Structure 1
């Protein structure tokens, strides 16, 4: 039986990865800032040595969009080296090398740290989860008119499918940068917004707003999309049906 540490193991993705690995018979340690006995803030690193002791594989799902991911990765890599961890698997985002968003640049920097770590490693990039698209649309719907980025599409994917793939990769041999994983459809934001409004029973007008800057241009050009890797199965409508069952 393999001992696997999942960082961010209480988060949207990490929780499902943990459940999948345990269902497959692996011993899983969940690391997060508040999850005992492995309550660790990776940005500080205190208690990390105990968390990685006798661990064969680390699945790195923890992330902090407001900053600190590079420092966290450095602490994790150093602890993994000292503990003799065989395999470090990391979840990243499609387009981190094409879209000049600050958070994306940080994810790319973490990828490079892992590649240069001397550890066996695997990196999987995916498109945005359905959950994040829903969060954006719910925020936009707080106004009488939903403001949407003009000319931008997305390719949302079901997080459970990503969790299954990441768990599969974690239990295999280090594979380096594996094929990207995209959702089943590339959808314009007005389409996604209308699907959300139908599912939630809300009424809003839509207004597409043209934005400025290199990041917006990269999103308009589809730098965050992989239509050639539309391997996901669950559609955004299917996801919404699970979230708003009474509206069906």
Structure 2
């Protein structure tokens, strides 16, 4: 039986990865700060040596836009080296090497750390999850109008589909950079906003806002997209239908 450690195991991606691996009969060590018996603080590196001992692969899903990813990855890699872990799988983002955004720079730095780790490694880049698009739209809809970045399209993908690919990679051989995963459709932000408003039974004027900076210019240029790898199946509307039950005024009240 294969033993696999999953970091960020209670998160949007880590939870379904853990569930899929367990369903396939693998022993999974679900790592988070509060999960026993492997309660680990990646920022401090405490508890890692015991957690990684004897594992066949690590799937590194833990991440934070607030910073600290590089330090956490450093602690994980060092512990994996000491334990002789043969395979480290890392989830990254399409465009981290093309967009001058702080979080993207950090993800790219971790990619390099994984490449230089001396471990067997695999890196999968995907486009943004449906969950992130929903978070952005829900935040924008709290205002009387919905301000959205002008000229930006996105290619959201379902986290469960990414989880399936990660689980597959975790039980395979180290493969380096594998083919990217993009959502099934490249959509404009207003298109997604209208879908969100329909699903939640709301009405809001959509206001395009032109932003400044190199990162925004990169997003307008589509450097975060991978239309040639539109391998995702579940659309944003299907995701919303499951989340909100098909839309309507009755559900909107609970979202306000």
TM-score normalised over the length of structure 1: 0.99
Q: Which residue of 2 aligns with 1:77?
A: 77
Q: Which residue of 1 aligns with 2:251?
A: none
1:147 aligns with 2:147: yes
Q: Which residue of 2 aligns with 1:184?
A: 184
Shift of 1:247: 2.3
Q: Which residue of 1 aligns with 2:254?
A: none
Asked if the contact 2:240–2:246 (Cα under 8 Å) also holds between the matched residues in 1, the reply is no
For 2:88 and 2:60, the matched residues in 1 are separated by 7
Q: Which residue of 1 aligns with 2:240?
A: 240
1:119-198 to structure 2, matched below 5 A, reads 119-198=119-198
- The secondary structure found in structure 2 opposite 1:80 is helix
For 2:64 and 2:228, the matched residues in 1 are separated by 29
Q: Which residue of 1 aligns with 2:199?
A: 199
For 2:246 and 2:88, the matched residues in 1 are separated by 42
Shift of 1:246: 5.2
For 2:247 and 2:73, the matched residues in 1 are separated by 42
- The secondary structure found in structure 2 opposite 1:207 is strand
For 1:228 and 1:107, the matched residues in 2 are separated by 22
Q: Which residue of 1 aligns with 2:2?
A: 2
Q: Which runs of 5+ in 1 are unaligned?
A: none
1:29 aligns with 2:29: yes
1:37-56 to structure 2, matched below 5 A, reads 37-56=37-56
| Paired residues, number | 248
Q: What does the per-residue CA deviation read over 1:147-181, in whole Å, with 9 as the maximum and x for residues that have no partner?
A: 00000000000110000000000100000000000
For 2:32 and 2:107, the matched residues in 1 are separated by 19
Shift of 1:117: 0.3
For 1:247 and 1:44, the matched residues in 2 are separated by 44
Q: What does the per-residue CA deviation read over 1:190-232, in whole Å, with 9 as the maximum and x for residues that have no partner?
A: 0000000001101100000000000000000001000000000
Shift of 1:5: 0.2
Q: Which runs of 5+ in 2 are unaligned?
A: 249-256
Q: What is the Cα-based RMSD across aligned positions, in Å?
A: 0.7
Q: Which residue of 2 aligns with 1:19?
A: 19
Asked if the contact 2:70–2:106 (Cα under 8 Å) also holds between the matched residues in 1, the reply is yes
Asked if the contact 2:128–2:156 (Cα under 8 Å) also holds between the matched residues in 1, the reply is yes
Q: What does the per-residue CA deviation read over 1:125-152, in whole Å, with 9 as the maximum and x for residues that have no partner?
A: 0000000000000000000000000000
Shift of 1:34: 1.2
